[in-house]
Amino acid sequence: MQILFTDTQPKNVRLNARIVNKGDSLADLDPALSEGSDIARFKGNPGQVFEGFVSVDGALSRVAIAGAGAADAADRRLNLERSGAGLTAKYLRSGETEMVLDLGFAGLNGDDAAAVLTGVFLRGWSLDQYRTKLAQEKKVSLQTVHVIGAPEGTQAAWEREAAIAKGVEFTKKLVTEPANIVYPESFVAMCEEAFAGTGAEITVLDEAQMTELGMGALLGVGQGSARESRLLAIRWNGGEKDEAPTVLVGKGVTFDTGGISIKPAPGMEDMKWDMGGAGAVAGGMLALVSRKAKANVIGVMGLVENMPDGNAIRPGDVLTTMSGQTVEVLNTDAEGRLVLCDALHWAQEQYKPARVIDFATLTGAMIVALGNEHGGVFANDDTLADQLLGAGKATNDKLWRMPIGPAYDKLIDSPIADMKNIGGRWGGSITAAQFLHRFIKPGTPWAHCDIAGMVWSDKPGHAHDKGATGYGARLIDRLVADNFES
């Protein structure tokens, strides 16, 4: 979607919209519209949209009023995003190709106005390219939003937000595309294209290089697939030259059958988004790079496909990780931690980070615990945990802190190896975090974000349609912006 700023009312655009606060008077509107909004019980609640029609110079014009909630609401920014998203949701497939959005109401400042535009833009993303017989009235029509009445500072604020939105869209695309389109090698190719010319440095390890490094866990997960595994690192040096980087590590299982411990057939198609952690890291990195963040950040993604052919790992096999620790595989469907453990160890060896945060659609137990409202965060450092919680609250990529500790750690001890890859029925998301913790070097601040319930949604959200939510990209950007930029 194209956002254009203009000083004058564009001609021949029949859809006009404005943002209002809860309780704002609409007396300046056409009397029929003002009365109609009362009849329709329009209150100006966040995301609520009222539509009416007026005749202007003999031509019929649509007028849309979007609510932004109370002007003094604590979550004002998110409410403004909902107001913009509400307009897009209503008119994206309406047949209208252009909309004039007047931001000269509701007492908005530049940052407020940019929040509205963020909602407008993010809610407009869709992937319809495979729907060759989609009815005309169901196709996306809205292409351009003309912005008038923008408060001072809006364009500068939107330039920053547009860079972040670009990252969110990239995450959505990676998560939405089917597994025959996004697999380890093509994931790398898509990132190489997205980051071309940005100044980011890309490193790719193939299977031969990972074998030489001893990444037996990551390679073990992928050995049942015809698709070769990859390790991808994207480095952005935007901070001080000698400053230790923040390292983000993403689970990138581009399709997860469960392997020999195969999943039930119903719902297995959803496992194309089991690379949502890697998608979040890629999108977050694109947001940081696009806005030239003043920080040193590296995104590392372990990319594999978990398939059950005759070469696949079996329950009972023992794998040797890059760290030298051994893992008894009791369930091949607990594969994400096997991918992450080698990626985490490699990232620490390679980059000597100031802190490490991993993102993964790791456990169904996380969805049982928190549903689809929060991701879980586990951490060995209270400051880092609080920084993640704050970034999640600010962006609506919400997190909830979960416990780790020695009592849980002993549940993954193995009688024949250093550890086993599952810890039994209880506390499944916690024992998965404990597994990862064993690969974090002493003294390194670390947090694990289990986002299994957050990367995909069966219903529209505040700034996304059904499907990929883009979760994690904005969280990463905000975490870095608020805490690690120079």
Reduced to 3 states (helix: H, G, I; strand: E, B; else coil), residue 343 is helix
Dist. CA 204–CA 170, nearest whole Å: 19
Dist. CA 136–CA 288, nearest whole Å: 37
Catalytic residue among 160, 263, 393, 401: 263
Whether 404 contacts 377, CB under 8 Å: no
Whether 436 contacts 338, CB under 8 Å: no
- Signed CA dihedral, 399, 405, 407, 411: sign only: positive
Q: Calculate the dihedral angle through the C-alpha atoms of 110, 114, 115, 116, rounding to the nearest 10 degrees.
A: 110
| 15 DSSP β-pair partners | 62
Catalytic residue among 172, 230, 337, 478: 337
What single-letter DSSP state applies at residue 103?
Answer: -
Q: Which residues contact 383 (CB under 8 A, 6 or more apart)?
A: 445
Whether 384 contacts 362, CB under 8 Å: no
Active-site annotation holds for 337: yes
DSSP assignment of 255-269 equals EE--TTSPPPSTTGG
456-457 and 375-379 beta bridge pairing = unpaired
| 230 DSSP β-pair partners | 303
Active-site annotation holds for 352: no
| 300 DSSP β-pair partners | 233, 249
User: Which of 95, 151, 83 lies closest to 123, judged by CA?
Assistant: 83
Residues annotated as part of the active site: 263, 337
